[in-house]
């Protein structure tokens, strides 16, 4: 537990934010004194007062801004062609034609602007419902709070997978590493400690600070916030930059199609003008007729139709609990051919429940439960877990844990080696009342059993039986450590297996129907999970998803260049690392299909970036939500199926207009152009052509 120094009592004015570089060179007591705070954090009243004075911890909200929306409407090549034609008509004296073209231009821009702005407002409302939260100490008690409520002086917990919400001076660390490439450009995670650095140390070398916008890649820690919002280093940079989103495949295709129409219109304009001049038609009439033919070929309302379809689609998707970060991503959502998804919470309930604790012989035994509670990363307040990974939370909040509280009181935790996705384990160094020190390690059975000196056959049989039943299992082992005061990964050897902790995560009732819907939509579903292969195969079999061959991370490494062949015959990939997931997604994309990835953990971020469409959920880790293109407000494959159907409907409606409008316009204009070669007069006046197209498109 943290020791209270000061409680941040109210003062006439809020403490000024410290620069993170300055705070890094100061001792922890000096930093806390400068912020009028303490290791117990601020009181709720003081935090609220500072929030009113300093404002929310936000760099930029997702706001609907009219001018950028209008600018996007005016960038269309087709609208530029209309504007050029209107100007040409005006300067040659054909004011009526200029007015008609102007009406077309205003109608297209106006419809597009109104619909996209409405969609932006809807997205603004939806973004406000997606929150990042963290554990903050208020008066010495941990509580979950929205990151926008954080103020300088708050003491927060940093956990694996979180995006650091503000500039933080670290107070304690346990194997903490942060990925800081967003600020420093370094791809290797930076190791962190609580020791002050020399004055003048550069931002990239502030080992005692965690910076806003960086990601906790390993370990955990606590720290005091020194700057928030636009005062943070990342905040200052972000406020000076404009957001630029890369084009999607649909946008690229639409732009290329528009440019093709403009090029065709240009060629036709020149050709028809030259032919009519050769036929001794009046030059002005020939010019206006050729321009009218060129404009008449293109579907003038294409930008407005696309904006209208996407805006309507975004409202429909919002009703179906799907948030698309950018409207244009709706089209990509409808193009999905292969969906890679995790298992927990998608195919299963995701509400882990602790079932039993068994000893080395497979019989009931409370000792592994007691050891598991000591080796636990859950953040606890009033004997209730308010943060941490789901397995630790389920263990701590289980009814069986209540009877172990007295046994835990006689132990003190001296050091922690946090969980990471390579070791797949967590270790702690504890000391009992008698002064005996012990290393307790808890983790995935396959890896942990390899580090044990001896594993009874009964333990392996019990483990296989639990896996065959589809249960999730965590192994617990110990080793005496009489002379140690710290632990590293090298200490996880010659362990003695103490038993197993068994958890239940039953299949989701709606999963079978959702899988059937996706199959009818032509989407192939494949599972990527860090769980045991037998457990994953059992869950898929219960849901009617043919497992085919079950491949592991070792199989992926061994496949090498033949990974494509392994993908073709495999539905379930188990015990895979984050790098394995991204590699699988990239290899599947090389086959020429559109790939989506659904994940919610820090280990899913790389694969979310690698997919054509990254999909996450509202309850995901911060880094997963930030990496995703689409957010589901409910982790259910039925919600995703609704989104795919809506995306396909919008795409179909857009393409219907493009094909119908373009083919009809081409036929009409080629007929008019051809007739002009044989008639002594123009078959249609420019104003008639343009008015006809406007009425037809509307």
Annotated active-site residue 342? The verdict is yes
**Residue 496 pLDDT > 90, yes or no?**
yes
64 pLDDT above the threshold of 70: no
Contact between 166 and 228 under an 8 Å Cβ cutoff? The reply is yes
Q: What is the pTM of this model?
A: 0.63
pLDDT at residue 280 is higher than 70: yes
| Local structure of 345: helix, strand or coil | coil
Per-residue pLDDT at 148: 87
Q: Are 156 and 137 in contact (CB under 8 A)?
A: yes
More confident residue, 634 or 456: 456
CA nearest to 477, candidates 449, 436, 441: 441
Q: In angstroms, rounded to a whole number, what is the distance separating the alpha carbons of residues 533 and 506?
A: 16
The yes-or-no verdict on residue 602 having pLDDT over 80 is no
Least confident residue range of 245-259, 345-359, 446-460 = 245-259
Least confident of 14-18, 457-461, 560-564: 14-18
Between the ranges 195-209, 379-393, 622-636, where is the mean pLDDT highest? 195-209
Do 329 and 613 form a contact (C-beta atoms < 8 A)? yes
Catalytically annotated residue among 97, 154, 167, 342: 342
Distance (Å, whole) CA 611 – CA 596: 5
Paired with 616 in beta bridges are 631
Q: What is the mean pLDDT of the chain?
A: 80
The arithmetic mean of pLDDT across residues 366-373, rounded, is: 91
Backbone angles phi, psi at 106, to 5 degrees: -65, -35
The beta strand positions in 97-140, using DSSP E, are: 133-138
428: alpha, beta or left? (left if phi > 0; alpha if psi -120 to 50): beta
Structure tokens at 157: 């917990």
Confidence of residue 163 (pLDDT cuts 50, 70, 90): confident
Burial of 156 (0-12, 13-18, 19+ CB in 10 A): buried
User: Of 169, 149, 163, which is closest to residue 213 (Cα–Cα)?
Assistant: 163
Q: Which two tokens stand for residue 339?
A: 């969906």
Q: What is the pLDDT of residues 299-321, one digit of tens each?
A: 666 666 776 777 777 777 878 88
- pLDDT classification of 206: cutoffs 50, 70, 90: confident
Instruction: Say which residue, 602 or 403, is predicted with more confidence.
Output: 403
- pLDDT reported for residue 101: 72
Q: What is the pLDDT of residue 73?
A: 67
As a residue count, the chain comes to 698
CA 179 → CA 186, 476, 551, 606, distances in Å?
8, 30, 30, 13
What one-character-per-residue DSSP string does 171-201 give? EEEEEEEEE-HHHH---SPEE--SS---TT-
Of 436 and 352, the one with more pLDDT? 436
Q: DSSP states of 267-302 as a string?
A: HHHHHHHHHHHHTT--HHHHHHHHHHHHHHHS-TTH
Of the candidates 216, 222, 224, the residue with the CA atom closest to the CA atom of residue 172: 222
What is the SS3 assignment for 225? Answer: strand
Listed in order, strand segments (DSSP E) in 299-352 are 322-324, 338-341
Q: Tell me how many degrees the CA angle 626-594-258 measures, rounded to the nearest 5.
A: 90
- pLDDT score recorded for residue 151: 92
Query: Does the pLDDT of residue 63 top 60, yes or no?
Result: no
pLDDT class of 244 with cuts at 50, 70, 90? very low
Give me the mean pLDDT over the 402-409 stretch. 76
φ/ψ (deg, to 5) at 243: -70, 135
């Amino acid at each position: 537990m943290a020791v209270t120094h000061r409680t941040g009592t109210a003062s006439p004015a809020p403490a000024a934010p410290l620069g993170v570089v300055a705070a890094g060179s100061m001792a922890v007591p000096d930093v806390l004194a400068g912020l009028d705070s303490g290791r117990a954090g601020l009181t709720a009243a003081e935090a609220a007062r500072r929030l009113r004075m300093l404002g929310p911890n936000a760099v930029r909200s997702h706001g609907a801004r009219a001018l950028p929306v209008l600018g996007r409407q005016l960038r269309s090549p087709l609208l530029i062609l209309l504007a050029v034609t209107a100007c040409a008509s005006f300067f040659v004296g054909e004011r009526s034609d200029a007015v008609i073209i102007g009406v077309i231009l205003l109608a297209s821009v106006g419809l597009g602007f109104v619909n996209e702005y409405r969609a932006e407002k809807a997205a603004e409302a939806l973004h406000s419902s997606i929150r990042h939260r963290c554990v903050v100490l208020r008066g010495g008690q941990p509580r979950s709070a929205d990151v926008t409520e954080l103020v300088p002086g708050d003491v927060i917990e940093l956990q694996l997978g979180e995006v650091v919400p503000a500039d933080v001076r670290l107070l304690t660390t346990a194997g903490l590493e942060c990925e800081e490439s967003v600020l420093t450009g370094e791809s290797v995670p930076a190791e962190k400690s609580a020791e002050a650095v020399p004055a003048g140390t550069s931002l990239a070398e502030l080992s005692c600070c965690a910076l806003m916008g960086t990601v906790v890649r390993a370990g955990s820690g606590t720290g005091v916030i020194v700057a928030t919002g636009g005062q943070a280093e990342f905040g200052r940079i972000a406020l000076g930059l404009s957001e630029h989103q890369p084009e999607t495949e649909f946008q690229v295709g639409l732009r290329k199609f528009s440019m093709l129409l403009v090029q065709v219109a240009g060629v036709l304009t020149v050709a028809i003008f030259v032919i009519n001049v050769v036929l001794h038609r009046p030059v002005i009439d020939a010019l206006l007729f050729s321009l009218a033919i060129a404009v008449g070929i293109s579907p003038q309302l294409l930008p407005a139709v696309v904006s209208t379809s996407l805006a309507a689609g975004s409202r429909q998707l919002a009703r179906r609990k799907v948030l698309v970060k950018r409207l244009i991503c709706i089209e990509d959502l409808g193009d999905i051919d292969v969906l890679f998804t995790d298992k927990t919470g998608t195919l299963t309930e995701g509400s882990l429940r602790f079932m039993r604790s068994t000893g080395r012989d497979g019989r009931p035994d409370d000792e592994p439960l007691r050891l598991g509670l000591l080796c636990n990363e859950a953040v606890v307040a009033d004997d209730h877990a308010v943060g941490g990974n789901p397995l630790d939370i389920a263990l701590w909040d289980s009814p069986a844990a209540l009877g172990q509280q007295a046994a835990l009181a006689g132990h003190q935790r001296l050091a922690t080696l946090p969980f990471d996705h390579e070791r797949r384990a967590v270790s702690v160094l504890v000391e009992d009342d008698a002064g005996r020190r012990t290393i307790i390690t808890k983790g995935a059975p396959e890896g942990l059993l390899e580090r044990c000196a001896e594993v009874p056959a009964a333990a392996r049989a019990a483990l296989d039986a639990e896996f065959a039943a589809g249960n999730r299992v965590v192994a617990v082992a110990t080793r005496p450590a009489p002379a140690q005061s710290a632990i590293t990964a090298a200490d996880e050897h010659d362990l003695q297996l103490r038993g197993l902790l068994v958890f239940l995560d039953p299949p989701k009732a709606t999963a079978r129907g959702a899988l059937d819907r996706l199959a009818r939509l032509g989407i192939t579903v494949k599972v990527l999970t860090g769980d045991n292969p037998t457990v994953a195969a059992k869950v898929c079999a219960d849901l009617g998803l043919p497992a085919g061959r079950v491949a592991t991370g070792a199989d992926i490494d061994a496949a090498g260049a033949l990974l494509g062949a392994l993908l073709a015959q495999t539905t379930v990939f188990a015990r895979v690392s984050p790098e394995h997931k991204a590699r699988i997604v990239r290899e599947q994309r090389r086959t020429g299909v559109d790939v989506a990835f659904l994940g919610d953990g820090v280990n899913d971020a790389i694969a979310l970036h690698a997919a054509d469409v990254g999909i996450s959920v509202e309850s995901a880790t911060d880094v997963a939500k930030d990496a995703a293109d689409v957010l589901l407000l409910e982790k259910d494959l039925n919600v995703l199926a609704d989104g795919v159907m809506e995306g396909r409907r919008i795409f179909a409606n857009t393409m219907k207009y493009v094909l119908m409008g373009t083919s009809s316009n081409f036929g009409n204009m080629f007929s008019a152009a051809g007739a002009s070669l044989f008639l002594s007069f123009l078959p249609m006046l420019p104003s008639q052509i343009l008015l006809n197209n406007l009425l037809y498109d509307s």
